[in-house]
Amino acid sequence: MKKMRILSWNVNGIRAIQKKGFIDWLLTEDPDILCLQETKAAPEQLSEELLNINGYKSYFSSSIVKKGYSGVAIYTKQEPIKVEHGFGIPKFDDEGRIVVAEYKEFVLINIYYPNGKKNEERLQYKMDFYEAFLDYSNKLVKKGKKLVICGDVNTAHKEIDLARPKENSKVSGFLPIEREWLDKFFSHNYHDTFRMFNDEPENYSWWDQVTRARDRNVGWRIDYFFVSDNFKKNVK
DNA sequence: TCCATGCACAC
DNA sequence: CAGGATGCG
DNA sequence: GTGTGCATGGACCGCATCCTG
């Protein structure tokens, strides 16, 4: 299989980053596949330039329950065999959190997992989403598919994965139940690809912008690339 | 996230 | 239609 | 009285949308 480079980015508004030079950035960075989360836009709100970037096919999934909310996208050089927009469960598909692109060599799953901070209901929704996702991915593996899963998981797994573990042990994003679900997920033979190559602390993917936490690297590692066991050997 | 505040406790 | 308020993260 | 630990509350930024005048 030829070498491919896949990137993942929670953009917090694709129209906002377009104004800050996103298209030039993508053409310079030149990945084979780019996965975006929190695009906060429906395709019909997007400009022609954003829909058709030179050399890429694009696929969007957007929320049908709330305008300007959630949303994910894939930009891909190679056209997938098939693209889907959910697990087949309306409750989880309707917020525009899922894009699945099937290629000959693997299935790419780009997900913006729910945030559980708002209230108890949303935390439960997040946990239910996790379970539905695990069901979905396990079924694909059982069918012999090789999975590459990426996105904003909204949970740090271990103490090493955030700067303030003690202070956040009762905050959604580092709750015992959320961390235990990740334990369970990995016990089904999926791998956290970053940790295949790096076991150092202070490697984060998200920082609170309210407190300018990035300046001090007070962050969390909540964005991941996972692979199923049958694809592990392909990860470089 | 960080700071201020209030409260309980130990020494 | 600019600007403030709100929802969400 | 002073130190430490824990709990609570408020300000804080950015994007997109909605409301108001």
Given a contact cutoff of 8 angstroms between Cβ atoms, the answer to whether A167 and A183 are in contact is: no
* Of A115, A59, A114, residue with least CA distance to A92: A114
- Look up the domain containing A181 and give its range: 113-236
Whether A121 and A205 map to the same domain: the answer is yes
Q: How far apart are CA A193 and CA A22, in angstroms?
A: 26
The answer to whether A227 CB is within 7 Å of strand D is: no
Percent of chain A surpassing pLDDT 70:
100
Pairwise CA distance, residues A105 & A217, whole Å? 37
The total number of structural domains in chain A stands at 2
Residue A97 lies in a domain: no
Enter the tokens of residue A172: 């959604």
Check whether residue A29 and residue A141 sit in a common domain.
Answer: no
Question: Could you check: is the Cβ of residue A36 within 7 Å of any atom of nucleic acid strand D?
Answer: no
**Mean pLDDT for chain A?**
96
pLDDT digits (tens, 9 = 90+) for A197-210: 999 999 999 999 99
Q: Which one is catalytic: A32, A152, A183, A192?
A: A152
Residue A20 CA to D11 C1' — how many Å?
Answer: 28
Q: How far is the CA of A39 from the C1' of D20 (A)?
A: 28
- Do A73 and A147 fall into the same domain? no
Q: Do A136 and A68 sit in the same domain of this protein? A: no
**Residue A90 lies inside a defined structural domain of this protein:** no
* Band (A158; pLDDT cuts 50, 70, 90): very high
pLDDT band (50, 70, 90) for residue A1: confident
d(CA A203, C1' B8) / Å: 37
CA A167 to C1' B10 (Å) is 23
Overall average pLDDT of the A73-99 stretch: 98
Residue with tokens 């539905």: A132
**A136/A232 same-domain check:** yes
Rounded-to-integer distance, Cα A60 and Cα A106, Å: 19
Which nucleotides of chain B does any protein CB come within 7 A of? 1-2
- Length reported for chain A: 236
Indicate the residue among A33, A61, A79 that finishes a domain: A79
Asked if residue A88 belongs to a domain, the reply is no
Nucleotide nearest to A169 (CA to C1'): D6
Q: Is A94 a catalytic residue?
A: no
**A71 domain residue, yes or no:** yes
CA angle A7, A133, A109 (to 5 degrees): 25
pLDDT average, residue stretch A123-138: 97
Instruction: Cite residues whose beta carbon is less than 7 Å from strand C.
Output: A 38, 66, 68-69, 114-115, 117-118, 122, 209-210
Mean pLDDT of A110-139: 96
In a domain, A104, yes or no: no
Backbone angles phi, psi at A159, to 5 degrees: -55, -35
The CATH number of the domain holding residue A143 is 3.60.10.10
